[in-house]
Chains A and B, each alone.
Chain A
Amino acid sequence: MSAAAVDLAERVSPGNRSLFRRALRVGLILGVVAIYGATIGILPLMDARWVIVDMVSLGDAALIAIGLSAGVLIAARTRSLEFWPLVPPSLVAGGVAGGLLALLALAMQAFPLRQIFIALSPGLLKSLTFGLGASRGGAVLIVAGASLAVLGAALTRAPEGLRKPAAAGLAFVIVFGVFQELIQIMMQSGGAINALRQSIYTWEGLTLAGALIIFFLASGAAFVWTGWLRGPARERFMRLSPAQKRTAKSARVVVFILVLVLLPVVAGSYIGQVMMLVGLYILMGMGLNLEVGLAGLLDLGFVAFFAVGAYATAILTADSPHALASYTAIPSLSYWAAMPIAVLASIVVGILFGIPVLGVRGDYLAVATMGLGEIVRVVVQSDMAAPVLGGAQGILQIPKPRMGGFELADPVHLFYLTLAASAVAAYFAWRLENSRLGRAWMAIRDDEDVAQGLGVNLVKVKLLAYGLGAAFAGLAGSIFAVMLTSVYPSSFQLLVSINVLALIIVGGMGSLPGVMVGALALVGLPELLREFGEFRFLFYGAALIIMMRVRPEGLWPSATRRRELRDEAGEAALGELEGTATRPAPRAPDLQDTEP
């Protein structure tokens, strides 16, 4: 057989041995993921939340998803289109993953692991083994893992008309189950809607009947969509002129934004509060985006500007002994007068912050700015600055902003304040991005020396990046101060900087809609899943690593980025930042694998 034929044969059906090795690998990885989730305590937390009341908890759903994904991964990595050859490796992968969990259960029964790993409680053991004891429960885990994996492989190989509706149905059930509290609050309004709510929900979660209704509705809709509606819709879209296509795309963005704007009114003040936090992070994200996304200055001390905005607002408006009004002749200002001053103060601090680190680049810049941010926090917290800034107790009693006689006290009101501020800031950010200054920033991001050679004034351009970035953060800080009506140094930790950095990376560096998507995903989502709040930083860490490896351009990359990534020639230039270009070529398959 010639080499080409071997190659073709390998493509059609890879050697059994490599397939099983792959299956083993997939099983091991998924099993380790499951054990990890159990050990750090996220699985027990998920077990406490129902998707379907008294039947399926979120933890069960996660384990089921792990089992299914074993089959999906096997199927996705095999080129063969047939189903039957996938069964043995899927059995192996699912069985191995289940087997690792069974081992964990056995270990938990045999050793007092809880003395070290606080999450490995008897309750977890019971729910892992279905109350059957470690050995019998472990056997069930293995069998369940293997069969779920086969089911996953079958679903992946099933015709589209079956696969899509099934996936859509499952996804909807999970969304409606997980966000039940929120959805129920929203559905409480009208009579008929409330009746519908009562038919599918109890106050703990979805009922079985409700889950079935949602599953069939969603999968039916998906079935109709994939079977009859999608083709014509796509065709009609293709027939549009480029200008019309652009309009359609911007219409989508407008609808997306409109939903966000109107959501708090429909969903009440809790959602208002969450959305307002998202708005604050969008503001900060747009600011850091100017520094990192456009100018390439990795700033980990960003929280300092946020703190300056908040503290400036506090000492100008608060009704406390630390306010300027109480010990100087400066009168106590209204919020509307204090906000511009706070923004100005942030700009000044941003420039002062930027001057010393002008000559520092890359990695060192990240550490230097982080040091500066920490210095600000240490100083604010210390007794040295306590007479002015209130030390660790902070400054209390900041009045809410007033409009005429109307006090913006409700979170929803403040959400609209944030929204207005974000809209103004977004306009500025958008205009900056396409301005001469924005292009100068992108030039220094790509190569500082070349940019300087082309006449970019590095000092001016960099300081403007720090100053304008700080302005956004200062505005956010000022709103933050009136939201909490008090400021404490503990609100301004490095975590905030990392948080903002994570959201612009997840959304897509240098992309304005990306900032929004990132803030929704990293700030809004964890806020809605409140009991998982303690895991949000784990989630950020994982998101940073995974995004850098899998999708360095972000979820919603900017047009320039996307063009650079699609274009082969542009890719080399992008490698500088993203690292997709210089990824080593895949290693040739081992000889033994290619032998038929």
Chain B
Amino acid sequence: MTDVARGRTLIPKLRSLSRFTFVDVVLWALRISVLMVVVGGSVGTLIKGRYGAVQWLEFLTFGVTMGSLYALVALGYTMVYGVLRLINFAHGDIMMTGAFSGYFVASALAGRGFLDRDPVLAMLAIMAVAVTTSTTIAVLTERLAYRPFRHVRGLAPLICAIGVSFFLEQTFRGAFGAGVRAYPDPKWQKGAISVLGYAVPILQIMVVAAALVSMAILYLIVQRTKMGTAMRAVSEDADAAALMGIDVDRVIVFTFALGGAMAGIAGVCYAFIFKQVYFYMGFTPGIKAFGAAVLGGIGSVPGAMLGGLFLGIVESVGPALFLDGIGIPAPYQLRDLIAFILLIMVLIFRPYGILGERMAKKRA
């Protein structure tokens, strides 16, 4: 029985076995208050009409952009969880390593004017370096930190993963400094393209395109190649897969490499959007992306994509739509709050996610 399945059955069990109905009261109060904020806030905002259609579209495109990045990172969580049943706590930091190594290439290229002159080639070079770094680091962490815990259940692997996360962050802090470094800001990224009459920034189109292409490639790898089939087999049942002659170690390394590559691409895109890199930058998007993976149904590749997009859109539209309407000052400070509340609500009420039901049932 997996944690996913347990979480699903425990709440009804508590309800029937315990006389402490106040737990249910609190849980229902939580549900209702979140619902009230969502509905009340939306109505309030729409009545006030402070935002026009253009602004909503801006929120939406930004949400889709961020969502596709969350989806890329979430893929790493979900695939590793699929084959290892481990939350790779350090995955957000692996994204950071990609962004950081991309920074050095990007600033070197920008310094020589190459990033402005030949954007496609320059972006490809940046991505290539970022992907190489993040993939290498992902594989190394697997080999050095996670492999010894391959057959260990319980808290030890998770604690080790937390340690890896800190270790990576602090290593980068020591090697490259604690300060925030500014990512180059080429002119072409500031332009916009008119889509159906709305101006959409080129940067956002580029990010979404990069994410879509990588996800398509990943999907093909997982669905069509031999290695992808092996990955799916291991995530169904590692022992049976080993008996069928699949080299489980190799599959796990491959999974980490694939997740690391996606994280590297996401890291570069993330850094170009926010125009900065620092050693701690991977933490928050990492946690949010984990939330997205759970939201989509952990272990499910399409689920991670869906969950990422959903999270990105809710987080981007949410402050204006839900919080402004109930009169909260400076709602954009609470963007992370929305993401975290969504994460917790999912973990509490629907730990098997949107697309995870089939999996949870099978493993129950």
Contacts and interface: CB of A to CB of B under 8 A. Distances in A.
- Overall SS of chain A's interface: helix
Interface in B307-353: 328-330, 333-334, 336-337, 340-341, 343-344, 347-348, 351
Contacts of B163: 502, 540-545, 548
Interface residues of A, number: 69
Interface stretch (B54-62, B68-76, B171-179): B171-179
A359 B330 contact: no
A568 interface: no
A383 B334 CA distance: 9
Contacts of A117: 175-176
A578 B156 contact: yes
Given A298-B158, A359-B10, A545 B351 contact: no
Interface residues of B, number: 66
B130 to A, nearest CB: 14
Contacts of B150: 584
Contacts of A579: 149, 151-154, 156-157
Contacts of B27: 355-356
Given A355-B26, A545-B164, A40 B174 contact: yes
Given A371-B343, A537-B169, A576-B153, A378 B334 contact: yes
Q: Which of A40, A352, A359, A579 has the most CB of B within 10 A?
A: A359
A375 B6 CA distance: 25
Contact of B290 (A360, A367, A577): A367
Interface stretch (B17-25, B36-44, B114-122, B269-277): B17-25
- Overall SS of chain B's interface: helix
Given A40-B174, A367-B287, A458 B14 contact: yes
Interface in B1-21: 3, 6-7, 10-11, 14, 17-18, 20
Interface string A149-164: 0000000000000000
B160 A378 contact: no
Contact of A374 (B23, B87, B336): B336
B290 A362 contact: no
B287 A548 contact: no
A505 B162 CA distance: 12
Interface in A355-391: 355-364, 366-368, 370-372, 374-375, 378-379, 381-384
23 contacts: A39-B174, A40-B170, A40-B171, A118-B175, A356-B348, A359-B11, A361-B3, A363-B86, A368-B343, A371-B343, A372-B340, A378-B336, A379-B334, A457-B18, A501-B162, A502-B163, A540-B166, A541-B163, A548-B160, A576-B153, A576-B154, A579-B152, A582-B151
Interface of A: 36, 39-42, 116-119, 292, 296, 298, 300, 352, 355-364, 366-368, 370-372, 374-375, 378-379, 381-384, 452, 457-460, 494, 498, 501-502, 505, 534-535, 537-538, 540-545, 548-549, 552, 575-579, 582-584
Given A356-B348, A367-B290, A378-B340, 10 more contacts: A40-B174, A42-B174, A292-B155, A298-B155, A356-B344, A368-B343, A371-B287, A501-B159, A538-B171, A578-B154
